[in-house]
Amino acid sequence: MSSVLHPKNPFAPTLHFNYRYFETDAPKDVPGAPRQWWFGGGTDFTPAYIFEDDVKHFHSIQKQACDKFDPSFYPRFKKWCDDYFYIKHRDERRGLGGIFFDDLNDYDQEMLLKFSTECANSVVPAYIPIVEKRKDMEFTEQNKAWQQLRRGRYVEFNLVYDRGTTFGLKTGGRIESILVSLPLSARWEYDHKPEEGTEEWKLLDACINPKEWI
């Protein structure tokens, strides 16, 4: 299960979530070998502007879901998220994180299924209250231009680093499905740097220097 939402209003953040289970048959040349299985997934959001209450709310819901199963999950998967969504050629993260995990099979299978289900069920309470607060806010052309610049970063990460996207492109997957996560429009400007102290700069600083929000 996977979804990406790109709101029109620059004050409403982009959301991405994906939860998946893989199981493979034993290799043909190794009869009797055990099947391999693992879980992967995560929920993260990518705002163009920081509203600290929104960020804390989003991360709190992720932590609540994790803590029901293991108190080590949230700090572990939060860092994993920050590391995974790193745009190396920009030295910044795609957004303000959330949780992310992959190749997870070092716990009981049923427990991990329940954990993934809990995380998926947490998407709506984590995200919808934020959208309800921000979707009708008035914005300027400058706000919209900044949102489009940040969506340029989103495109860069997905096409250059995202494991699922790059795998699909290299193996001849269905291109419409592979690119469906991209925003409708994006923008690039040569050597664009927001003025220090502005709201745009605060967002960029948080993407360069991940924070502990809760």
**Mean pLDDT of the 173-196 span:** 94
Q: Which domain holds residue 21?
A: 2-208
The domain spanning residue 171 has which CATH number? 3.40.1500.10
In degrees and rounded to multiples of 5, residue 24 shows phi and psi of -115, 150
Query: 6, 16, 57, 59: which is the annotated catalytic residue?
Result: 16
Instruction: Note the pLDDT tens digit of each residue in 65-91.
Output: 999 999 999 999 999 999 999 999 999
Examine residue 133 and state whether it is found in any structural domain, yes or no. Answer: yes
**Mean pLDDT of the 38-66 span:** 98
Total number of domains in the chain: 1
Identify which of 124, 134, 115 has the alpha carbon closest to the alpha carbon of residue 54: 134
Query: Sorting pLDDT into bands at 50, 70 and 90, what band is 26?
Result: confident
The CA angle 3-89-160, to the nearest 5 degrees, is 40
* pLDDT higher than 80, residue 34: no
Q: How far apart are CA 107 and CA 92, in angstroms?
A: 32
Which pLDDT belongs to residue 12? 99
* pLDDT higher than 90, residue 164: no
Examine residue 213 and state whether it is found in any structural domain, yes or no. Answer: no
Examine residue 65 and state whether it is found in any structural domain, yes or no. Answer: yes
**Mean pLDDT of the 47-68 span:** 98
* pLDDT higher than 80, residue 187: yes
Examine residue 214 and state whether it is found in any structural domain, yes or no. Answer: no
Q: How many CA atoms lie within 13 A of 8 on its CB side?
A: 4
Examine residue 34 and state whether it is found in any structural domain, yes or no. Answer: yes
Examine residue 189 and state whether it is found in any structural domain, yes or no. Answer: yes
What order do you get walking across the sheet with 14-24 strand by strand?
2-5, 14-24, 36-46, 98-104
What's the pTM?
A: 0.93
Region of residue 91 (left: phi > 0; alpha: psi -120 to 50; beta: else): left
Examine residue 112 and state whether it is found in any structural domain, yes or no. Answer: yes
* pLDDT higher than 90, residue 28: no
Which residues lie below 8 Å from residue 33, measured CB to CB, with a gap of 6+? 26, 27
Q: Would residue 6 show up in a list of annotated catalytic residues for this protein?
A: no
